[in-house]
Amino acid sequence: MVLLSPSIGALRHLLEICERYAVAQGLKYNAKKSELLVFRSRGKCYSNVPQVTISGTPLNRVTQFKYLGHWVTEDLNDDLDIERERRALAIRSNMLIRRFARCSKKVKMTLFRAYCQSFYTCSLWVSYTQRTYNALRVQYNNAFRMLVGLPRSCSASGMFAKARIDGFHAIIRKRCASILRRMRDSSHSMLSTLCGRWDCPWMRHWIERHASADVSYILRG
């Protein structure tokens, strides 16, 4: 369970409601596994934060936590989560290369689509460094080269086009379009509000994935 609140007072009120519900159901929250994260506001870091308790135990304040496999940080930077996906991709691709080295090329491509194109939560990556982003792209390209036995000097776009497999940027565009469609079709009022805000960082990022450099410049301006 995750609680989001604009203030400490509102967060305490939400926790009181949750605690009363837990007591009514004969349950108790595990304070040792509960954590508090305060998001930075325009680069500001709040060192003195009022204490927040659950079941009478103060919550441990952290700078990052993992929720449903996705890393969330206090500055909302996605470098850590992209690195997580890069490491996971390296493990999966190495497994395919070693275990299925003698399989046909068609089988290898099918396995590559199944295990190396998930890019979990990639549609939520908005704030990241180009170095971390490129590291994942290079890892993806090299994984396919090694799996099918292509030289490192071959063109990435050419090998994916010849094999009829989505390249790195094509996957990112499809994931962004997919989550945007789901949010627009949702009946949730907050999701509808986000999709209606063209100045939202998510919207700007999703549009930039499909637009040229000139259009991206206009959106930023």
Last residue of a domain, one of 18, 33, 62: 62
The answer on 191 and 125 residing in a single domain is no
Secondary structure letter of residue 71 according to DSSP:
E
Last residue of a domain, one of 158, 174, 190: 174
In a domain, 207, yes or no: yes
Domain count, the chain: 3
Cβ contacts of residue 36 below 8 Å, gap of 6+? Answer: 49, 52, 59, 60, 61, 62
Q: Looking at residue 180, what is its pLDDT?
A: 83
In a domain, 170, yes or no: yes
The answer on 152 and 108 residing in a single domain is yes
In a domain, 71, yes or no: no
3-state secondary structure of 220: helix
Q: Looking at residue 197, what is its pLDDT?
A: 76
With cut-offs at 50, 70 and 90, classify the pLDDT of residue 210.
low
Q: Looking at residue 212, what is its pLDDT?
A: 53
Amino acid at 219: L
The answer on 168 and 84 residing in a single domain is yes
The answer on 102 and 17 residing in a single domain is no
The answer on 107 and 30 residing in a single domain is no
The answer on 198 and 184 residing in a single domain is yes
The answer on 99 and 141 residing in a single domain is yes
Helix (H) or strand (E) segment spanning residue 134 = helix 130-148
Rounded CA Rg of the chain: 22
Q: Which residues span the domain enclosing 189? A: 179-220
Q: What is the mean pLDDT of the chain?
A: 87
In a domain, 67, yes or no: no
In a domain, 69, yes or no: no
* Least trusted range by pLDDT, from 27-36, 94-103, 206-215: 206-215
With cut-offs at 50, 70 and 90, classify the pLDDT of residue 205.
confident
The answer on 159 and 98 residing in a single domain is yes
In a domain, 2, yes or no: no
Nearest to residue 176, comparing CAs of 139, 141, 202, 198?
A: 202
The answer on 170 and 84 residing in a single domain is yes
State how far the Cα of 41 lies from the Cα of 183, in Å rounded to an integer.
26
Query: What share of the chain has pLDDT > 90, as a percent?
Result: 56
Residue 216 has pLDDT above 60, yes or no: no
The answer on 40 and 103 residing in a single domain is no
Q: Looking at residue 218, what is its pLDDT?
A: 42
73 touches 64 (CB < 8 A): yes
State how far the Cα of 143 lies from the Cα of 149, in Å rounded to an integer.
10
Segment 187-198, tens digit of pLDDT = 888 887 877 777
With cut-offs at 50, 70 and 90, classify the pLDDT of residue 36.
very high
**pTM attached to this predicted model:** 0.83
